[in-house]
Structure 1
Amino acid sequence: MGAGPVSSGVLARLRRGLWPGDNPLRRRTDLFEPIALLVIVLAAAVVLVASFAASQAVLRDRMAEVNAERADRHQVTAQVLGEVPGGSSAIRAVEVAWGDPPAPRHAAVIEMSTATPLADTAQIWVDRADRPTPPPRTPSEATQAAGTAGAAVLFGSGLVLAGTYAGARRYVGRRRLAAWEQEWARVGPRWRHHLR
């Protein structure tokens, strides 16, 4: 036995399920569902493009920030002067100093993890004005932010589209039941007459 008739039968049933055709029992509401499904599929394609565009825009902006931070910040070796009281169990405050003569010496209090052992020196990040600053963001952080933005657009829009389609199907189902009730109210008495 070949697979041709089986696959063509499946395709025919799928086509009939999606498009009611010219069945004499077809109602106007029967056309609504396949049209709504087509609109939802087209909207989903637009959402895919929009989520890709959003993620690319976020990636471009975040990479520009990463490059600007890398150009503005650099690492220096600072001498650890001592721990400052008032830290927490996870973070401690440490006073550090950096700069070689004849340049002016800079000092600041920075936060360090308590998991890092306190040494004589520490690598810190400073900006162009020699002020302590957080390390520059990495390209992987920019990529993660872009992926999150794209996924948020995709997930949020998917929920809206699914909710819209479910609401439309519910509305059509109610309309269909109301139409059947009206027809039965008209036809039902005639059927009861035939049954006696």
Structure 2
Amino acid sequence: MSTKVRLWRWRRSPLRRRSDVLEAWIGLLTAIFVVLGAPGAGWATGLVVDGALERTAKAQHAERTLVPATVLKAGPREVSETDPDSGHVQEERRTAVARWTAPNGTSVTGTVHIPVDKGKGDTVRLWTDRTGRVVPPPLDSMTASTHAVLAGMGASLGAGVLLLVGRQLLMWQLMRRRLAEWEREWEAAGQDWGRAGAA
């Protein structure tokens, strides 16, 4: 297809309609927004999410402490995760009763999960809050960055899809207007325009 044919909507012509020019502008603006706007939305979303997650990670690291705990009694092995496809055990662990010293200096005894290779008398490391309650590990920087990248990619993809859906809705509306305009012109032309002897 030649450039001349592709750009006919931009040239003056008695056959060019207002809807043709509008369609060309919608296509051009959509292309610009998809090429620049969608990645920009993804980048901005990634920055915002990364900042929020980094603040969360710093707060968690400030509030949580890794403390040594002594295993007092180890329970039987438990399967925590199994691969649904192969059925192989991905991780085994066991429940144990352990004693540790909280960051505030109090001695705490509680039930925790330990690796299967640890038993009575072994030392394990636990994440606790200031009162000594066992908590999940704090968010690490790599996980925060990965989540930010995924959020940015999702936002970029979502913005692109919204732009394309919006363009399609505008094109459907434009086509309805164009067909209504053709119908009015067809009625104005009359029914006898093709018959011999018609004025």
**Does the pair score TM above 0.5?**
yes
Aligned residue for 2:182?
180
Distance 1:188 1:112, change over 3 A: farther
Matched, 1:72 2:54: no
User: Counterparts in 2 of 1:127-146, with a 5 A limit?
Assistant: 127-146=129-148
Separation in 2, partners of 1:180, 1:99:
83
> Would you say how many aligned residue pairs link Structure 1 and Structure 2?
181
* TM superposition outliers: structure 1 runs of 4+ over 4 Å: none
Matched, 1:32 2:32: no
- Percent of aligned pairs sharing the same letter: 27
Listed one character per residue, the Cα deviations across residues 137-189 of structure 1 (whole Å, up to 9, x for unaligned) are 11121112212322232222222211111111112122222222332333352
1:14 to 3, 6, 15: 6
For the 8 Å contact 2:40–2:156, the answer to whether it is kept is no
SS in 2 for 1:30: helix
Report the residue type matching 2:159 in the other structure: S
Query: Normalising to structure 1: TM-score of the pair?
Result: 0.75
User: Counterparts in 2 of 1:85-104, with a 5 A limit?
Assistant: 89-90=79-80, 92-99=94-101, 104=106
Separation in 1, partners of 2:187, 2:113:
79
Matched, 1:121 2:123: yes
Separation in 2, partners of 1:79, 1:61:
36
Aligned residue for 1:147?
149
Aligned residue for 1:56?
47
Distance 1:195 1:112, change over 3 A: farther
> Structure 1 stretch 66-75 or stretch 136-145: which is displaced more?
66-75
Separation in 2, partners of 1:26, 1:190:
25
CA apart distance, 1:88 = 6.4
Give the CA RMSD over aligned residues.
3.0
Gapped regions of structure 2 (runs ≥ 5): 81-92
Aligned residue for 1:169?
171
CA apart distance, 1:33 = 0.7
SS in 2 for 1:137: coil
SS in 2 for 1:193: coil
For the 8 Å contact 2:71–2:96, the answer to whether it is kept is yes
Report the residue type matching 1:48 in the other structure: P
Listed one character per residue, the Cα deviations across residues 43-89 of structure 1 (whole Å, up to 9, x for unaligned) are 4333432321121011012112222322333322211122469x964
Greater fraction of residues in helix:
1
SS in 2 for 1:131: coil
> Structure 1 stretch 73-82 or stretch 24-33: which is displaced more?
73-82
